[in-house]
Amino acid sequence: MMGMLRMKIGLVIGSVVLSAGLWLGAPATATAAGGGITFEKQKWQHSGPFGTFDRAAMVRGLQVYTEVCAACHSLDLVAFRTLSALGMSEDDVKEFASDYEVEDGPDNEGEMFDREAVPSDYFVAPYANDKAARASNNGAFPPDLSLITKARVGGEDYLYALLTGYEDEPEDFELGDGMAYNKYYSGHQIAMPQPLFEEHVEYDDETEATVEQMSRDVSVFLTWTAEPAMEDRKRMGVKVLIFLGIMLVLLVLVKRRVWSGVH
């Protein structure tokens, strides 16, 4: 009897350890995005069950977004006040928001008016509407970036690949007017011109602004905008696992106690 029980417990523990091992040790291989396109999986501080966001990278990524991507892409779902998660003080956030103008109103005369943004406002879109966005971008629509890492297969790995994937088109490739060649974009031609070039931004923390570095940083930042509560979710997961582990031990002990007189 005891032998059977030990074997069963052994099996349960074995399979838990094995699946955790498989999960943790998922190899950094290429991911397929459909259409036969593959790209590398990157190592991120925020991946894995204990992963946390790299705050310094998020701050740099915010700078890349505001100085480069924000010219074409909105970030509609992100409120300035949430930037405190990047380690910004209340005053920093106020100052950051005050660089933007938002439309408010109507006032007592029924008129809409512009005012300085405050922390409770959201990032301001670069274009007045979708048609204006398309008109400025060769007919293509630059999607809102708030949830983009959730909206594409491969998430931040794909985003990083896309931003670093610009090159000259092969000789036999017919590139449409105003289009750019990108190794990782489905169909290889994209209406977004290469957005990042060496030293495009000047980082406050003096990190060298290579294309790879800026791509990485903005990918971390946009992973956070898509799932700001990721760290809480992971912490909760670990707590639940610890709880279940203790529960398992207690149940085994109780079971032994209850059955001890039966043999």
Contacting positions for ligand HEC (CB under 6 A) = 64, 68-69, 71-73, 137, 140, 142-143, 148, 152, 159, 162-163, 190-193, 195-196, 218
Nearer to ligand HEC, 88 or 209 (CB): 209
Identify which of residues 96 and 181 has a Cβ nearer to ligand HEC in the complex. 181
Largest CA distance in the chain: 89
Do you find a cis peptide bond into 106, omega within 30 degrees of 0?
A: yes
Minimum distance from CB of 145 to ligand HEC (Å)? 6
**Residue 184 near residue 42 (C-beta atoms within 8 A):** no
Q: How far is the CB of 152 from ligand HEC (least distance, A)?
A: 5
Cis peptide before 228 (omega within 30 of 0): no
Q: How far is the CB of 16 from ligand HEC (least distance, A)?
A: 37
Comparing CB distances to ligand HEC, the nearer of 59 and 196 is 196
Provide the b/e sequence for 94-125 (b: ≥16 CB within 10 Å): bebbeebeeeeeeeeeeeeeeeebebebbbbb
Closer to ligand HEC at the Cβ: 7 or 153?
153
Nearest distance from C-beta of residue 37 to ligand HEC, angstroms? 10
CB closer to ligand HEC out of 195 and 216: 195
CA distance 214 to 220: 10
Closest contact distance (angstroms) between CB of 45 and ligand HEC is 19
Tell me how far apart the alpha carbons of residues 263 and 176 are, in angstroms, rounded to a whole number: 81
